[in-house]
Structure 1
Amino acid sequence: MEALDLARWQFGITTVYHFVLVPLTIGLSVLVAIMQTAWYRTGNEKWLRLTKFYGKLLLINFALGVATGIVQEFQFGMNWSEYSRYVGDIFGAPLAMEALIAFFLESTFLGLWIFGWDKLPRKVHLATIWLLAIGTTLSAYFIIAANSWMQHPVGAEYNPETGRAEMNDIWAVLTNPTTLVAYPHVISTAFLVAGTFVCGIGVYWMVKKARANKDDADLPMYRTAARFGAWVMIIAGAAVIISGDEQAKIMFEQQPIKMAAAEALCETEQPAAFSLLSVGHLGATDCNDVKTVLAIPGMLSFLATGDWNAEVSGLNDLQPKYVERYGAVDENGDVIHYQPNLLITYWTFRLMIGLAVFCAALALAVLWTTRKKQYADQKWMKTLAVVSLPMPFLAASFGWIFTEMGRQPFVVAPNPTGSDQIFLLTTFGVSTAVSATMVLTSMIVFTVVYAVLGVFWFRLIHRYAVEGAAPANPPHNPDDGEAPGPLSFAY
């Protein structure tokens, strides 16, 4: 394999691993803040115990997320130095904002939240967790803004003297229409992940306690956690659908070949059907090798434009249009295949959508079995909760893979309504000074280290999840200025 292939594999491995942790940190920080707010307003001990219980799990996830995220930025300067040279003037701005504004906000107030339980007034301490939550959501915005520029470059012009894209409007970069539709989708996904996490663990403990002793004093607390998570899942799930629909529509305008590949749409159709199942050669590169066997008539036209009878361009028509506008061969004289990998785009798009069904099933089952102050004690509920826990993580990861792999062969996709000069093929983004051996060595090292970190992450999350919430403290006066004891965590 060449350095380009290895660099892509390395970035894919490290990015997907990091992105497994990111949605949980974003969503759980807000949910923990809501739990602590509920305790602050009601004085109910169960909210304090839930805050500290899920707060421990948040700390574990946050620490691993920081450790894995640092590697990403080093890769831009090493494996992808030509990409950084070309877009550094633009791409570096939102990343710098993320570090200087969001990350420092997160890290500063996370420390105050951890160690300020018995030292800060309750109102001030509550503000620290909300500032942490604000920091995580701000961080996501700046990262999405940077990535959205790669999907749809705006606010920049090409300088032929330096051979670089240079920013001329930072506001246009930060308010990129792609960012404005992608960000709500990412945030709602984060809440879906966190809601499933809170609900799944709450259901596990509720069923366990209910089957052992119907009079267990902790049952109301875990029922509250399960129902709280379930409602978050319902609201977030609706937001995911709405924001995903908006993102699909703008993607059809900006990157029509990506969405055509996601649907295995070979020929232009009016109206176009949404493919539920297509068959063909595994890894087929020729769209004609794929045949749709099950589809919903007109659905793709509606998803693309909002009109059930609209025309949607197919891959066989889009390829020559791309060739006409961006060229048939690259600077090395190699033929450019603008069609993304059909196997990856088609199935990652469907897995992203399909795995969310588990979340819907868990949320509805919890709300039904715990209605009228009942406690779920069915064994299948516990099984459903455990099985559902990883599903939104996987769905989010498949969605990220689809977004990035579907952009190929571009690392910076062209803006169909902007300058034809601002785009970059992935082939020319890789460093010319880093050999395949060097990339392979670092990839092996990172993969092994990340595997070890993954084991530690899982064991820590599992350990503290199955340990349950700490025992109830003696009755506490909510008007006191301090909380009963600091947040404990075994490092």
Structure 2
Amino acid sequence: MELDIVDLSRLQFAITALYHFLFVPLTLGLSVVIAIMETVYVMTGRDIWRQMTKFWGTLFGINFVMGVATGIVMEFQFGMNWSYYSHYVGDIFGAPLAIEGLMAFFLEATFVGLFFFGWDKLSRLGHLAATWAVAIGSNFSALWILIANGWMQNPVGSSFNPQTMRMEVNDFAAVLFNPVAQAKFVHTVSAGYVTASIFVLGVSAWYLLKGRHLELAKRSLTVAASFGLAASLSVVVLGDESGYLSTEHQKMKLAAIEAMWKTEPAPAAFTAIGFPDQEARKTHYAVHIPWVMGLIGTRSLTTEIPGIEDLVAHAETRIRNGMAAYGALQEIRAAGSDAAIPEAARTTFEENGADLGYALLLKPYLDDPTQASDEQIAQAAWDTVPNVPTLFWTFRIMVGLGFFFIALTAVFFYLSARHQLDRYPWLLRVGVFAIPLPWIAAECGWIVAEFGRQPWIIEGVLPTAAAVSNLGAATVLTTIVGFSLIYSVLFVVEMALMLAAIRKGPEADHAPRTRLAPPSLAPAE
């Protein structure tokens, strides 16, 4: 079987991104959690809060190092595997990427050092300022990455220059304040806060079950439940905003998430469950909830959400317009100077240039898109549909887990307010087993966002197939194997270090250990 360089390059980036994203959410969330804990320490002067800050800070440090190590590789991949993409959009994509590097390697790294080594060298307020700088730096680092990614989802503030054959910035403020980027930022950061909250909650619940470090565990669990409940609620609200923006800027992604093959009368129903069949272009055994999708996607009762088939027909029209733009571009390039450009070619490109990227969808089928047949155009139009079953199920897993986190943190928040955190061991066990669930939700969210954009690397502008480097398949396959092995080792190392730190605890526990009574023997009220 012939290896496809595009699929291999996508697989390599997906593997490294998914590995990297194992570390990012916890870094974002724990940085804020430890800052909150140290703030309480500075305000109260109680040593238990200093102990908590240092303990959870140790786990943050382990995770932070792994996140930096895996993130560096991703940035180099833009040049290694996606060189044409880097050339095509470097003027736009490079700026936020460079600023993110400054945030990560100067602001974060500097203050991380002060956090770990400045406890006895800085005043309480000085050290607290360093801790909050770590939290702010971590979150601002994510902001710039998501500004870059948001531009890939909604390429605003830029235009294509036919002379240089590159996208160029014409409004950096529009790139910076791109509504898709801002929505992705707050949604992603809130998801990181949930991840850290469930992590702290689960570890604290484990300590309560083991009868160890009870004072630290109860306080940590209280912080995690309070912070986690607020973050879980915000994730749902901000996720709704992302869905609304998808209706405006990524209609195909939204239709695929809903497995909405045909346009429905407004307001559209929400498909709670079903079994999408991409080959048959229908969803089997679908259970619909009337009006919900229309309200979520359009916030009205009268606006239609286009279905996949109508969007494909629209894509076919844009492909034909793009073919005209592609032909005009060849004439512009051949003219050699601005004065020599035929006026008809200039006019044609100005009218159809926005659809040039759609003509590039024909490149996998023939070298000259202007010579495409009707069958090839139709095939390219259907290529704009991502894998519907994958998006359908990953979205529902993510949403289902999101509501579970709201319920879990709400229950622990209630028990914390009533000082009954250790009253129900079975619930503590649920908290322990819930630790990996935020990572599953986060990875599902990444798949929905990035896999749902396919076949575009830049929505409506540059197809993924046109963005890869001219590398041999064997070379990319070798790096996939190498990265997978190295990252797997790093993951095992992180897990070993984290588990060792958790088992050790914040300090030697000299208090007698008392296990909680089993559920049947627990006192009831």
User: TM (normalized to structure 1)?
Assistant: 0.89
d(CA) in 2 for partners of 1:206 and 1:339? 49
Matched pairs, number: 454
Partner of 1:222: 217
d(CA) in 2 for partners of 1:102 and 1:458? 23
Cα deviations by residue, 1:121-149 (Å, 9 ceiling, x for unpaired): 22211111111111101101100000011
Note closer, same or farther for the CA distance 1:144–1:122 as it changes in structure 2 (3 Å cut): same
Per the TM alignment, residue 465 of structure 1 is displaced from its structure 2 partner at its CA by 1.6
1:357-436 matches, cutoff 5 A: 357-414=403-460, 423-432=461-470, 434-436=471-473
Larger radius of gyration: 2
Note closer, same or farther for the CA distance 1:58–1:292 as it changes in structure 2 (3 Å cut): same
Partner of 2:499: 462
Q: 2:256 aligns with which of 261, 264, 288?
A: 261
Per the TM alignment, residue 180 of structure 1 is displaced from its structure 2 partner at its CA by 1.8
Q: 1:452 is aligned with what amino acid?
A: V
Per the TM alignment, residue 358 of structure 1 is displaced from its structure 2 partner at its CA by 3.6
Q: 2:479 is aligned with what amino acid?
A: S
Note closer, same or farther for the CA distance 1:359–1:467 as it changes in structure 2 (3 Å cut): farther
Q: 2:500 is aligned with what amino acid?
A: R
Partner of 1:198: 200
The answer on whether the counterparts of 2:256 and 2:391 sit within 8 Å (CA) in structure 1 is yes
Q: 1:408 is aligned with what amino acid?
A: Q
Cα deviations by residue, 1:8-58 (Å, 9 ceiling, x for unpaired): 001001001101110110111011011111101101121111101100100
d(CA) in 2 for partners of 1:161 and 1:370? 64
1:436-455 matches, cutoff 5 A: 436-455=473-492
Q: 1:136 is aligned with what amino acid?
A: S
Per the TM alignment, residue 356 of structure 1 is displaced from its structure 2 partner at its CA by 2.4
CA RMSD of aligned residues (A): 1.7
Stretch deviating more after TM superposition (197-206 or 76-85)? 197-206
Note closer, same or farther for the CA distance 1:276–1:88 as it changes in structure 2 (3 Å cut): same
Per the TM alignment, residue 467 of structure 1 is displaced from its structure 2 partner at its CA by 2.1
Per the TM alignment, residue 471 of structure 1 is displaced from its structure 2 partner at its CA by 4.5
Counterpart check, 1:245 vs 2:240 = yes
SS of equivalent residue, structure 2 residue 418:
helix
SS of equivalent residue, structure 2 residue 275:
strand
Partner of 1:318: 311
Per the TM alignment, residue 382 of structure 1 is displaced from its structure 2 partner at its CA by 2.9
SS of equivalent residue, structure 1 residue 355:
helix
Partner of 1:176: 178
User: TM (normalized to structure 2)?
Assistant: 0.83
Stretch deviating more after TM superposition (182-191 or 99-108)? 99-108
5+ residue gaps, structure 1, are: 210-215, 415-422, 474-491
Cα deviations by residue, 1:229-259 (Å, 9 ceiling, x for unpaired): 0111110011111111111001111010100
SS of equivalent residue, structure 1 residue 20:
coil
Q: 2:290 is aligned with what amino acid?
A: P
SS of equivalent residue, structure 1 residue 411:
strand
d(CA) in 2 for partners of 1:185 and 1:16? 18
Partner of 2:32: 30
Partner of 2:341: none
d(CA) in 2 for partners of 1:177 and 1:379? 44
d(CA) in 2 for partners of 1:296 and 1:154? 34
Stretch deviating more after TM superposition (367-376 or 405-414)? 367-376
Q: 2:385 aligns with which of 339, 342, 350?
A: 339
Cα deviations by residue, 1:212-242 (Å, 9 ceiling, x for unpaired): xxxx8x4233111111101111100111111
Stretch deviating more after TM superposition (459-468 or 224-233)? 459-468
The answer on whether the counterparts of 2:112 and 2:134 sit within 8 Å (CA) in structure 1 is yes
Counterpart check, 1:348 vs 2:394 = yes
1:139-154 matches, cutoff 5 A: 139-154=141-156
- Which of structures 1 and 2 has the larger relative contact order (alpha carbons within 8 angstroms, sep 6+)? 1
d(CA) in 1 for partners of 2:508 and 2:119? 17
The answer on whether the counterparts of 1:298 and 1:309 sit within 8 Å (CA) in structure 2 is no
Per the TM alignment, residue 70 of structure 1 is displaced from its structure 2 partner at its CA by 0.5
Per the TM alignment, residue 166 of structure 1 is displaced from its structure 2 partner at its CA by 1.0
d(CA) in 2 for partners of 1:472 and 1:219? 10
d(CA) in 2 for partners of 1:375 and 1:319? 54
Per the TM alignment, residue 280 of structure 1 is displaced from its structure 2 partner at its CA by 4.4
Q: 1:304 is aligned with what amino acid?
A: G
Note closer, same or farther for the CA distance 1:387–1:357 as it changes in structure 2 (3 Å cut): farther
d(CA) in 2 for partners of 1:385 and 1:439? 41
d(CA) in 2 for partners of 1:200 and 1:356? 16
Partner of 2:164: 162
d(CA) in 2 for partners of 1:427 and 1:355? 33
Partner of 2:349: none
Stretch deviating more after TM superposition (164-173 or 363-372)? 363-372
d(CA) in 2 for partners of 1:303 and 1:292? 22
Partner of 2:281: 287
Partner of 1:212: none
Per the TM alignment, residue 293 of structure 1 is displaced from its structure 2 partner at its CA by 2.0
Q: 1:48 is aligned with what amino acid?
A: R
Q: 2:172 is aligned with what amino acid?
A: I
Sequence identity (%) = 41
Counterpart check, 1:56 vs 2:49 = no
Partner of 1:186: 188
d(CA) in 2 for partners of 1:472 and 1:44? 18
Q: 1:276 aligns with which of 258, 272, 276?
A: 272
SS of equivalent residue, structure 1 residue 276:
strand
Q: 1:119 is aligned with what amino acid?
A: K
